[in-house]
Amino acid sequence: MKITRIEPVLVGAPTPGCGLLSNRNYFYLLVHTDEGITGLGEATLESHDDSILGALRDLEDLIVGQDPTRIGYLMQVLIRQRFWKGGVVKASAISGVELACWDILGKSLGKPVWQLLGGAVRDKIRVYANGWSGGATDPAVIRDKAQEAQAYGYAAFKFSLAIPSWPLHDTETVRRVAKAAETVRDAVGPDAAICFDGHGRYDSNLAIQIGRALEEYDLMFFEEPVQPEDEEGMLRVARSVNIPVAAGERLTRPQEFRRLIEKRAISIAQPDLAHCHGFNEGLKVAHLAEAFDAFVAPHCPMSPVITAISLHLDAIAPNFLIQERLFLNDWRNEVITEPLQVKEGFIELPKKPGWGIELDEELIRKHPRIVAGTPRLFRPDGAVCDW
């Protein structure tokens, strides 16, 4: 079998309430073969669609003509056969191709991907909702939205407050985050899992203050309390706060995870399969975490496609903790022909060959790619000029 072409499919999927230019095009990759089998992958990287397209053009000559079932070999070619590593842009482009190749392999053998890798450890996957709050900071709105997500079948919830903060001893931010956690806990009850995402906004001192204020609300984890490259800062938080620390969405290689895991700076690794060079690299991270008695909880704030793909890793990793899923209560949930359903906090494991999903082509044609306006630069005097 040979790859004949790669086909990018971009779907305009803005976040409700954030306007059309909300960085939300779903970026899918269809990898076509000479045997008529087409694989589906995802490489969504918010607001970097053109960069991903450029990376794919650069890699195309290394992809077309290759055997898509030799996944390990092809990935070594794509990672090593160009001088520049490329960071998350190149990693996301490669991820999309790698994921599509697994889909091809599973379809060619008539087996779901999880069955190709030793079989499932579990039959249903525990999930938590992300994005359910819509960026709300008002406790009354947070309460209502948490209960709405709970009514959709979720039993675990991650929240974040995108508010400006001072780098040190910001008592207002500490108070507002703690109030939000109290509100969520009161809304969803004592047994639901709650997680807080710092998005790397804080230095280690403020993160420790926030973490200690959150301890009484019994959180499952504190995600990205500091920037992921601040390994010593992450370690300080982990040692100072009685909440497990999670990170990894912005890391692209197992070596980067290793430094955090072996320091015990994190106890939950969060590879994003659309950014970390694909499924096999994400599985390596899971195995690495297992060797240090840590857990894996794949990052996944995008479309149902990458969620469904992540379920296969969740199925086979013994140290799997919980799967992130963007709260979708609109047409975006139907971008695949058989939408994922959350029941009592779980999603059933896909049973069909490959990833077990297909794009709804009729639906995605109704949502073409969103193209941003004319790029602009800031002048030194603060004014804006067009390119």
What are the tokens at 333?
A: 């949930």
Order of strands across the sheet with 3-12? 3-12, 25-33, 38-42
For 53, what's the count of Cα atoms within 13 Å in the CB-facing half-sphere?
12
Q: What is the C-alpha to C-alpha distance for residues 64 and 2, in angstroms, rounded to an integer?
A: 7
What are the tokens at 245?
A: 């620390």
DSSP result, 64-128: TTS-TT-HHHHHHHHHHSSSS--HHHHHHHHHHHHHHHHHHHHHHHTSBHHHHTT--S-SEEEEE
Is 287 known to be catalytic?
no
Return all residues near 112 (Cβ < 8 A) that are at least 6 apart.
Answer: 106, 312, 349, 350, 351, 352, 353, 354, 355, 356
Decide if 12 contacts 369 (C-beta within 8 A).
Answer: yes
What are the tokens at 207?
A: 């993160």
Which residue in the list 199, 287, 312, 367 is annotated as catalytic?
Answer: 199
Is 299 known to be catalytic?
yes
Nearest one of 204, 215, 205, 198 to 158, comparing CA atoms: 198
Q: What is the C-alpha to C-alpha distance for residues 385 and 375, in angstroms, rounded to an integer?
A: 9
For 306, what's the count of Cα atoms within 13 Å in the CB-facing half-sphere?
31
Residue indicated by tokens 């306007």: 19
Which residue in the list 275, 299, 312, 367 is annotated as catalytic?
Answer: 299
Q: Which residues are catalytic?
A: 199, 299
